[in-house]
Structure 1
Amino acid sequence: MTKGTEEMAQEGGVPVTAREILVIGGNRYFGKRLIERLLAAGDRVTVLNRGSAPPPPGAEHLVADRDDEDALCTALGSRTFDVVVDQVCYTPRQAAAARRVLTGRTRRYIMTSTVEVYEYEDSLGLVRESDLDPRTVLVDHELPWDDPEFRESAYGEGKRQAEAVFAADPAFPYTAVRVAHVLGGGDDFTGRLAHYVDRIRTGEPITVPADNCPATYIHVEEITDFLLWTVGQDFTGPVNAASRGTLVTADLCAEIAAHLPEGEVRYQEVEVGETSPLSFRRAYGMDNSRAVALGYTFGRARQWLPRAVAETLGAVG
Structure 2
Amino acid sequence: MNTILVIGGSRYFGKSLVTKARDAGHEVTVLNRGSGTPPAGVGHVVADRDDEERLRAALGARTFDTVIDQVCYTPQQAAVARRVFTGRTGRYVMTSTMEVYDPATLPGAMHVGGGGGGGARGGRGPVPVTEESLDPVTTGAVPGSGPAHEYAEGKRRAEAVFLRDPLFPYVSVRAAHVLGGGREEFTGRLGHYVERIAAGIPVDVHQAPYATSFIHHREIADLLYWAAGHSFTGPVNAASHGALDVTALGELVAERVGRRPRYRVVGEGAEASPFSFDRAYAMDNGRAAALGFAFRPVTDWLPGAIDEDAAGR
TM-score by length of 2: 0.89
Partner of residue 222 from structure 2, selected from 214, 225, 234: 225
Query: For 2:213 and 2:199, how far apart are their aligned partners in 1?
Result: 27
Structure 2 equivalent of residue 102 of structure 1: 85
For residue 213 of structure 2, give the secondary structure of its aligned residue in structure 1: strand
Whole-angstrom CA distance in 2 between matches of 1:279 and 1:152: 15
Deviation at 1:169, TM superposition (A): 2.0
1:258 partner letter = E
Q: Which of 63, 66, 70 in structure 2 is aligned with 1:80?
A: 63
1-structure distance, mates of 2:256, 2:288: 33
Q: Could you say which residue in structure 1 is the equivalent of 2:308?
A: 311
SS across alignment from 1:238:
strand
Distance 1:98 1:139, change over 3 A: farther
**1:257 is aligned to 2:254:** yes
Structure 1's consecutive aligned runs of 4 or more residues displaced over 3 angstroms after TM superposition are: 149-153
Report matched runs for 1:131-150 at 5 Å.
Answer: 131-139=133-141
CA distance in 2, matches of 1:251, 1:309: 13
Match of 2:173 in 1: 177
Distance in 2 between residues matched to 1:196 and 1:138, nearest whole Å: 36
Q: CA deviation at 1:72?
A: 1.2
CA distance in 1, matches of 2:86, 2:49: 15
| Cα distance change of structure 1 residues 134 and 48 upon mapping to structure 2, 3 Å threshold | same
- Residues 287/49 of structure 1: CA separation in 2 closer, same or farther (3 Å cut): same
Q: Tell me whether 166-175 or 200-209 shows the greater mean CA deviation.
A: 200-209
Spell out, residue by residue over 1:139-186, the C-alpha distance to the aligned partner (whole angstroms, 9 max, x if none).
Answer: 48xx99xxxx96665111111111011111211000000111111112
Match of 1:3 in 2: none
> How far apart are 1:273 and its partner, in Å?
2.3
- State whether structure 2 residue 187 is matched by structure 1 residue 190: yes
Corresponding residue for residue 200 of structure 1: 197
Q: 1:50-129 maps to which residues of 2 (within 5 A)?
A: 50-120=33-103, 121=110, 123=112, 124-129=126-131
Work out the CA distance in 2 between the residues paired with 1:150 and 1:199.
27
| Alignment partners' CA distance in 2, 1:150 and 1:78 | 40
Q: What residue identity is the alignment partner of 2:10?
A: N
- What does residue 298 of structure 1 align with? 295
SS at match of 1:45: strand
State yes or no: 1:157 paired with 2:153. yes
Task: Find the aligned partners of 1:125 and 1:290 in 2 and give their Cα distance.
Answer: 15
| Secondary structure of the corresponding residue to residue 211 of structure 1 | coil
Unaligned runs of 5+ in 2: 104-109, 113-125
Per the alignment, do residues 44 and 81 of structure 1 end up closer, same or farther by CA in structure 2, a change over 3 Å counting?
same
SS state at 2:275 partner: coil
Q: Is this contact kept in 2: 1:19–1:82, CA < 8 A?
A: yes
> CA contact under 8 A between 2:74 and 2:157: conserved in structure 1?
yes
Deviation, structure 1 residue 267: 1.1
CA distance in 2, matches of 1:118, 1:241: 13
- Provide the rounded CA distance (Å) in 1 between the counterparts of 2:200 and 2:23: 44
- 8 Å CA contact retained: 2:141, 2:153: no
User: Is the 2:111–2:133 Cα contact (8 Å) retained in structure 1?
Assistant: no
Distance 1:58 1:280 in 2: 43
Q: 1:122, CA displacement in angstroms?
A: 6.7
Partner in structure 1 of residue 123 of structure 2: none
CA contact (8 A) 1:48 1:61 kept: yes
Q: Aligned AA for 1:248?
A: D
Deviation at 1:25, TM superposition (A): 0.5
TM-score by length of 1: 0.88
Paired AA for residue 167 in structure 2: A
* Equivalent residue in structure 2 for 1:216, among 213, 217, 235: 213
The question of 1:244 aligning with 2:241 is answered: yes
Name the Cα RMSD after superposition.
Answer: 1.8
Post-superposition offset of 1:260: 1.5
Q: Comparing 45-54 with 65-74, which one deviates more in the overlay?
A: 65-74
Match of 2:22 in 1: 39
Identity %: 54
Q: Can you list the C-alpha shifts for 1:255-309, whole angstroms capped at 9, x where unaligned?
A: 1111222x44221111222211111111211111111111112111122211111
Cα deviation, 1:44-78, whole Å, max 9, x if unaligned, reads: 11101111111122111111111111221111111
Alignment length (residue pairs): 292
- Contact between 2:245 and 2:276, CA under 8 Å: does it hold in 1? yes
What SS does structure 2 have at the residue aligned with 1:62?
strand
C-alpha contact (below 8 Å) 2:66/2:91 kept by paired residues: yes
